[in-house]
Amino acid sequence: MITAAQMRAARALVGMDQKTLAERSGVSLATIQRMEASEGVVRGVVESLTRVVDALNAAGVELIAENAPSEATGRGVRLRRSGAHRG
């Protein structure tokens, strides 16, 4: 599962705007916008979600599930825990 925050962060890591992600995934721009505007885990048609994840993977993004190790090397960002920031 991918969260809206992961989706936005993934795009930012590779410098991709919503329109480009829509084009590369074959889903509409409105669908991308709706996915990213959701709270928490993105909900939608499984095929659309799969296409978005595949497009992000093809762009070089590794989406890491909660409590899962990273399988690749390279730079990235990982949230330690929800709400675990220090001010």
DSSP annotation string for 33-57? HHHHHSSSB--S-HHHHHHHHHHHH
CATH number of the domain bearing residue 40: 1.10.260.40
* Domain encompassing residue 21: 1-87
Cβ(4)–Cβ(36) below 8 Å: yes
Give the total number of structural domains in the chain. Answer: 1
The pLDDT score that the predictor gives to residue 43 is 87
- Positions of the chain with pLDDT under 70: 75-77, 79-87
Is 0.95 topped by the overall pTM? no
Structure tokens at 46: 């499984």
The pLDDT score that the predictor gives to residue 52 is 96
Gap between the Cα atoms of 78 and 27, Å rounded: 26
